[in-house]
């Protein structure tokens, strides 16, 4: 695996390999092994040009658990804030000979551009509305741990599909592994062109979640919207917010997921977000194991 730029590039076997290694690393951590040596003597640069809490902390902790030296760079306080181009930033960072660069950027394709410019391995930590592969992998690990696999499962992804890199990566990954994916949301957020991905589409929340095993709620990507694609947040919440009453229409063993940050009372009610069906905090924990596995594989040495 030369880089991790998107789920589109991963084979089914590579996805299975990352998930299996994630489970192995989780087991070793639970047995008390806190430090690994697979990235000892290597440098990981976290280049985050978009705000992030979970993803940045998760990558930093994963790299440190593997023994790497970690450098964190954010847009604020860096030369990017002085209008330095991605090209110049990449060339300057490359001069320090890092082994792995983790990049999050508001522009789709920025990680691919970086991978062509530097000698380091590049990990996409989210690029524009394109892809967020490690989020999809941790979502898939969460599903695998609950159901044992993906074949025959039905997953509903609800919300702003059009602007969601999480949705795109999950569609690509889950379809490869044999799951059925249904997209649910207003017509302005789930265009019919998405059918080209081989998914089902519903514009009615109760119908969309009725027979699925997994409900994956999405945040409204307000930072990518010039105008709201619905009349008001209140109306969106009324028709597409996941509440306890709506959840009563779903299967009794359904699980609820959300990539965060959660807009409580908008796409999901606090009672559901914190309720017994929610695996949101499990997703956060699984993010550490998945990112350790990805960095370990890109590091190219045995733990």
Peptide bond into 129 cis (omega under 30): no
> Does residue 100 sit in helix, strand or coil?
strand
Closest residue by Cα to residue 123 from 231, 28, 5: 5
| Beta pairing class for 200-202 and 180-184 | parallel
Contact 130, 163 (CB under 8 A): no
- Supply the pLDDT for residue 91: 87
Q: Would you state the pLDDT for residue 303?
A: 44
Q: How far apart are CA 175 and CA 171, in angstroms?
A: 6
- Give SS3 for 12: helix
pLDDT digits (tens, 9 = 90+) for 55-103: 999 999 999 999 999 999 988 767 777 778 888 888 888 899 999 999 9
Tell me, what's the pLDDT at 226? 66
Amino acid 23: pLDDT: 98
Helices (H), the chain: 12-30, 54-65, 86-94, 110-117, 133-147, 165-176, 205-209, 233-240, 244-247, 270-273, 280-299
| Cα angle 173-299-261, degrees, rounded to a multiple of 5 | 45
pTM for the model stands at 0.94
For tokens 């799951």, the residue is 179
Separation of alpha carbons 173 and 153, rounded Å? 13
The DSSP bridge partners found for residue 156 are: 182, 215
- Render pLDDT for 204-252 as a digit per residue (tens, 0 to 9): 999 999 999 999 999 887 666 667 777 788 889 999 999 999 999 999 9
d(CA 63, CA 56): 11
Q: Which two tokens stand for residue 184?
A: 């649910």
| 3-state secondary structure string across 188-233 | CCCCHHHHHHCCEEECCHHHHHCCCCEEEECCCCHHHCCCCCCCCH
C-alpha span between 6 and 210 (Å, rounded) = 30
Q: Which residue has the tokens 């929340």?
A: 205
CA distance 4 to 9: 8
| pLDDT given for residue 254 in this prediction | 98
Place of tokens 């508001």: 106
Chain segment 140-193, per-residue pLDDT in tens = 999 999 999 999 999 999 999 988 999 999 999 999 999 999 999 999 999 888
Q: How far is CA 139 from the centre of its chain?
A: 7
DSSP secondary structure string, 20-50?
Answer: HHHHHHHHHHHTT-----TTTT-EEEEEE-S
Residue pair 144/286 in contact by the 8 Å Cβ criterion: no
Nearest to 145 by CA among 153, 161, 28, 258: 153
What is the Cα–Cα distance from 82 to 90, expressed in whole angstroms?
15
DSSP state of 257: E
């Amino acid at each position: 695996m030369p880089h991790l730029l998107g789920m589109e590039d991963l084979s089914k076997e590579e996805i299975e390999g990352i998930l299996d290694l994630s489970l192995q690393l989780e087991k070793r951590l639970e047995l008390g092994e806190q430090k690994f040596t697979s990235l000892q003597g290597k440098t990981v640069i976290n280049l985050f040009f978009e705000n992030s809490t979970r993803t940045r902390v998760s990558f930093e902790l994963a790299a440190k658990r593997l023994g790497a030296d970690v450098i964190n760079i954010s847009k604020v306080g860096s030369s990017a804030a002085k209008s330095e181009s991605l090209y110049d930033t990449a060339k300057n960072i490359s001069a320090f000979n890092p082994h792995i660069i983790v990049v999050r950027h508001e522009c789709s394709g920025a990680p691919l551009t970086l991978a062509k410019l530097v000698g380091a391995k590049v990990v996409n930590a989210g690029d524009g509305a394109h892809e967020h592969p490690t989020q999809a992998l941790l979502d898939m690990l969460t599903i695998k741990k609950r159901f044992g696999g993906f074949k025959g499962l039905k997953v509903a992804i609800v919300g702003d599909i059009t602007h969601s890199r999480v949705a795109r990566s999950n569609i690509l990954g889950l379809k490869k592994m044999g799951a059925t994916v249904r997209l649910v949301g207003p017509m302005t957020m789930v265009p019919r062109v998405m059918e080209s991905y081989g998914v089902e589409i519903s514009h009615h929340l109760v119908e969309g979640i009725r027979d699925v095993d997994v409900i994956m709620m999405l945040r409204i990507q307000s930072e990518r919207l010039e105008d709201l694609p619905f009349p008001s947040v209140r109306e969106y919440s009324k028709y597409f917010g996941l509440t306890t009453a709506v959840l009563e229409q779903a299967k009794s063993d359904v699980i609820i997921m959300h990539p965060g940050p959660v807009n409580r009372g908008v796409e999901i009610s606090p009672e559901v977000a914190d309720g017994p069906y929610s695996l949101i905090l499990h997703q956060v924990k699984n993010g550490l194991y998945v990112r350790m596995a990805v960095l370990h594989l890109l590091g190219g040495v045995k733990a």
